Structures are given as C-alpha cells and as structure tokens.
Amino acid sequence: MLGRKVIFHEPGTGRPREIVSGQYVIGVLLKTIVADTKKNVEKMHRRDTSKVGRIERSRFVNHNSWVIGGTRIPTAAIRRFKEAGYTNAQILKEYPDLKPRDIAAALLHEEQLKESRAA
C-alpha cells in the first residue's frame, strides 16, 4: 500500500503500479529526487571560507545592510549583542556559522561606521 492506494509489482517488469488507475508509481524516483535536493540545499548553505572575517553589502541581502560575508547576519546585530553584555563565545553560540574573525570584523566595522557618522 502507498498512502491509501494498493500497489503491485507488475509481473515481468517488476515496476510498481497502482491497481485501480493502472498508473505506474514513481516513488523510488521521487525518493532519489528528494535525496538529491537535500544534498544540493546543504551544499548551498555551506559558507564560502573566503568570506570569513569579511563585511559586505548587497542591495538584495537584508535591505542593503552591512552583513558578515556569506551570511545574512547584520553587523549591527553583533554590535547590539556586544552592547547587551554578550561575550564572543555567547555570540558564537547564537550564530554557530560564525567564526571569531567574523565577530571581530563586525565590531571593527561598526566602530568605523560610528566614527564616520560622528565626523
């Protein structure tokens, strides 16, 4: 049974087929497609190591805010965590994809933005 449908393996070919409609079932193919899609999504979510410790800006990411390279994490969020008394270890716990260099770069960038606004 597949869901509420009765499936049998067609004699000779061994292909799964639904009894009432006679349609072939492609469940095995769908499992392969889902597994491949999951692998591709995981690969897409891996962060490029060349972006660690870099700050970037893109008009299509987080409303053109300054973010940590390869992420959607605004540098301002890191500054706010620091101002709230979070340690670097606590910030890394909140954002496990970050590296210590990312936090240092974000805080330095925020300090430079603050100085340029004051000038």
pLDDT, one tens digit per residue, over 55-78 is 999 888 888 999 999 999 999 999
Amino acid identity at 75: T
The gap from C-alpha 94 to its chain's centroid, in whole angstroms, comes to: 15
Confidence of residue 80 (pLDDT cuts 50, 70, 90): very high
For domain 49-118, give its CATH number from 1.10.10.10, 3.40.50.300, 3.10.150.10, 3.20.20.140. 1.10.10.10
Q: Which pTM value belongs to this model?
A: 0.65
Mean pLDDT of 18-31: 76
Residue type, position 59, single letter: R
Distance between CA atoms of residues 108 and 119, nearest Å: 17
Q: Strand, coil or helix: what is 59?
A: coil
Tell me which amino acid residue 31 is: K
User: Domain residue spans in the chain?
Assistant: 7-45, 49-118
- Cα(32)–Cα(9) distance, rounded to whole angstroms? 19
